[in-house]
Amino acid sequence: MSELISDSYLTLCKSLHSTNPLWGNGPASHLHRILDFTREHRPSSVIDYGCGKGKLSEVDTRSRYQNYDPAVELFSKRPSPAPALVSIDVLEHVEPEALDAVLEDIANLTTHRCLLIISTIPAKETLADGRNAHLTLHDYPWWVAKLSQTFRIKKMEVDPTYVVFEAIPLRLYRDREMNVQVTVGNM
């Protein structure tokens, strides 16, 4: 597996987590989607991939979470594969050269389905080196093409600032038909 995060970027992310109390502080605007996802699929455990400060596991007490974030010491231990994985406002922060490795990692950790929520606009935050915190910033057609290399997209919602995907790793997908539910508009 290729590198998931470079040492220099990991240092920048650790700094942002430790100096900005709001950074990685939770999925408040997407909580209803996450709860709907876990209610529908009832996984025995869920990986919160890029969990930040781990707030989701405090809010969604119905599900058993494995928090994972390499930039947060408390959650830097690699998770075990799980039936469900959520990655909320994370993929746009991944270094472009590491994105394929991160997507493959997500696919390998997911034994059933994942929920990926990706911002399509610049971040409000700036990294210490001056770059916008959203390093991999693309529109939804780009994300559809990129994710389709590793996942079968089952549901997709699109709005002006985010795209939401429910997906199954291709290695698990047996039915080759493309059955996608797409919602465009306000989420």
How do beta strands 82-88 and 65-68 pair? unpaired
Q: Phi, psi at residue 71, to the nearest 5°?
A: -95, 0
Share of the chain above pLDDT 90, in %: 75
How far is it, in rounded angstroms, from Cα 181 to Cα 156? 6
Please state, as a whole number, how many other Cβ atoms lie within 10 Å of the Cβ of residue 66. 20
The least confident of 26-40, 46-60, 74-88 is 26-40
Using the predicted structure, report yes or no on whether residue 118 has a pLDDT greater than 80: yes
pLDDT for 4-33, tens place per residue? 999 999 999 998 888 877 778 766 788 999
Binning pLDDT at 50, 70 and 90, where does residue 187 land? very low
Binning pLDDT at 50, 70 and 90, where does residue 174 land? low
Binning pLDDT at 50, 70 and 90, where does residue 79 land? very high
To 5 degrees, how large is the angle CA 187–CA 46–CA 25?
Answer: 60
pLDDT of residue 1: 47
Give how far Cα 84 sits from Cα of 26, 30, 31, Å: 18, 16, 15
Name all domains of the chain by residue range, CATH numbers in brackets. 7-184 (3.40.50.150)
How far is it, in rounded angstroms, from Cα 60 to Cα 173? 28
Share of the chain above pLDDT 70, in %: 90
Cβ–Cβ under 8 Å, residues 114 and 81:
no
